[in-house]
């Protein structure tokens, strides 16, 4: 008998793989078709194209599942030139493995109109009932534009609980043991590109991102941290996304002397899950910003399955059942189980956190 969620895992991995190949093409192109969204954050033809390809694969395999995805298609109905550029990418990005491409992923998207409809169909409100997929087609779009790290993110929640999580990180080193560095090595794909995945209760794996089918996976585990003084934080690059000043105070109190590694996107979760980094700290910057479920669902499961613990700054598990946002959580602390409590205690000693 196959293990629980084996079909969901296979589809999710191949869908993320294909979408990551699309984003990689855009990453290497100087014209990324960037437009500004209503909240002033950027979105590119890579984000739209990756979302279309992932939703196409999900609709082919699981037509009645709900989908919560970051992007929407309205801009593309007003801007034909932008839609055309995305369509060029979507229709020409395929896996080399014919069987994976057609039998598993369902092959090419029919036409441009259908592509926009697919992009628009990630509009579920989310919630605590049933099967809901969460998609961030490019997490860390600012990193993607800067030549940094980014991630293609997909997770399946069932009744509010994350069961399957997959992260495509085209700019991380393939080697799980490579030292953690914010440098993405823009311009060269050599030795780069990894897919992390996890199924609840079945552990976490990493495998190289290739243009064929799925390459062999290896099981991953967090680095055992016994002395916090030898550890370092992995934090956001963007100062507006997490409170880096308070993080520095917390590091000092914990005896951490190494500087934080700054990295965009859920590549942070993947990096600590494979033992390349130690602790992911994301302290809230404002009382009003609510984290989005697609920014954390896959990473949360991958870290927990690699032996970590993930909570918010109040010590609560991330709750993905509240809708499109983590409405009941503030910030994130992801750390090896053995030291998570120590980090949480010091985080709570900092006034205002
Ligand atoms: N004010 C904010 N506080 C925290 N996270 C934010 C904020 N604004 C945007 N983000 C999200 O942080 C994520 C990037 O994380 P990181 O900083 O760790 O690389 C993005 O998904 C981004 O959302 P968006 O996709 O809408 O730009
Ligand atoms: Mg994001
Ligand atoms: Mg995004
Ligand atoms: Mg965005």
CATH code that applies to domain 228-349: 3.40.190.80
d(CA 321, CA 157) in angstroms, rounded, equals 9
Task: For ligand 1, atom 17, name the residue with the nearest CA.
Answer: 236
Catalytic pick among 141, 205, 285, 311 = 141
**What does the domain layout of the chain look like in residue ranges?**
6-220, 228-349
Instruction: Tell me how far apart the alpha carbons of residues 49 and 22 are, in angstroms, rounded to a whole number.
Output: 7
- The tens digit of pLDDT for each residue in 263-292 reads 999 999 999 999 999 999 999 998 899 999
Superfamily name with CATH number, domain 6-220: Fructose-1,6-Bisphosphatase, subunit A, domain 1 (3.30.540.10)
Reported ipTM: 0.93
**Pair of tokens at residue 61:** 């395999």
Please, are residues 119 and 73 in contact by the beta-carbon 8 Å criterion? yes
Confidence bin at 189 (pLDDT 50/70/90): confident
Q: Is 119 exposed, middle or buried (0-12, 13-18, 19+ CB in 10 A)?
A: buried
pLDDT tens for each residue of 312-347: 999 999 999 999 999 999 999 999 999 999 999 999
Find tokens 């961030």 and name the residue: 136
Give distance in angstroms: CA of 193 to centre of ligand 3.
18
If pLDDT is split at 50, 70 and 90, which confidence band does 185 have? low
For residue 233, what is the enclosing H or E element? strand 233-235
For 33-91, how does the pLDDT look when each residue is reduced to its tens digit (9 = 90+)? Answer: 999 999 999 999 999 999 999 999 999 999 999 999 999 999 999 999 999 999 999 99
The yes-or-no answer to whether 6-220 and 228-349 have a common fold is no
C-alpha–C-alpha distance, residues 269 and 299, integer Å: 5
> What pLDDT sits at residue 186?
53
Range with the poorest average pLDDT among 127-141, 202-216, 290-304? 202-216
Q: Ligand 4 centre from 240 Cα, in Å?
A: 14
Ligand 1 centroid–CA 110 distance in Å is 32
Residue ranges of the binding site for Mg(2+): 70, 136, 138-139, 295
47 tagged catalytic:
yes
Among residues 23, 44, 47, 300, the one annotated as catalytic is 47
> Is the C-beta atom of 236 inside 6 A of ligand 1?
yes
- 139, 143, 184, 281: residue to mutate for ligand 1 pocket, most atoms within 8 A of CB: 139
Q: Is the dihedral of CA 212, 105, 274, 276 positive or negative?
A: positive
């Amino acid at each position: 008998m196959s293990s629980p969620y084996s079909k969901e895992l296979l589809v999710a991995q191949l869908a993320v793989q294909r979408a990551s190949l699309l984003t990689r093409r855009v990453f290497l192109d100087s014209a990324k078709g960037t437009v500004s969204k209503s909240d002033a954050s950027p979105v590119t033809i890579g984000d739209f194209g990756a979302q279309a390809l992932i939703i196409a694969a999900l609709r082919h395999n699981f037509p009645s599942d709900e989908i919560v995805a970051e992007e929407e298609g309205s801009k593309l109905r007003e801007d034909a030139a932008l839609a055309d550029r995305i369509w060029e990418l979507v229709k020409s990005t395929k896996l080399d493995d014919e069987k994976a491409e057609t039998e598993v992923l369902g092959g090419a998207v029919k036409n441009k109109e259908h592509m926009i409809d697919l992009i628009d169909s990630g509009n579920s409100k989310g919630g605590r009932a049933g099967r809901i997929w969460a998609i961030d087609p490019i997490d860390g779009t600012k990193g993607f534009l800067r030549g940094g790290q980014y991630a293609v993110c997909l997770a399946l929640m069932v009744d509010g609980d994350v069961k399957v999580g997959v992260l495509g990180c085209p700019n991380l080193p393939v080697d799980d043991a490579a030292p953690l560095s914010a440098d993405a090595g823009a311009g060269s794909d050599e030795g780069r590109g990894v897919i992390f995945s996890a199924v609840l209760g079945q552990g976490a794996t990493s495998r190289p991102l290739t243009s064929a089918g799925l390459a062999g996976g290896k099981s991953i585990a967090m680095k055992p941290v016994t002395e916090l003084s030898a550890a370092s934080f992995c934090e956001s690059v963007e100062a507006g996304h997490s409170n880096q000043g308070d993080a520095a105070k917390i590091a000092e109190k914990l005896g951490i002397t190494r500087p934080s590694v700054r990295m965009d996107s859920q590549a942070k979760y993947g990096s600590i899950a494979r033992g390349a980094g130690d602790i992911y700290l994301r302290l809230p910057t404002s009382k009003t910003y609510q984290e989005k479920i697609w920014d954390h669902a896959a990473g949360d499961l991958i870290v927990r399955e690699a032996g970590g613990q993930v909570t918010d700054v109040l010590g609560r598990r991330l709750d993905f059942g509240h809708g499109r946002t983590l409405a009941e959580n503030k910030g994130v602390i992801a750390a090896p189980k053995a030291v998570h409590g120590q980090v949480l205690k010091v985080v709570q000693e900092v006034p205002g956190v």
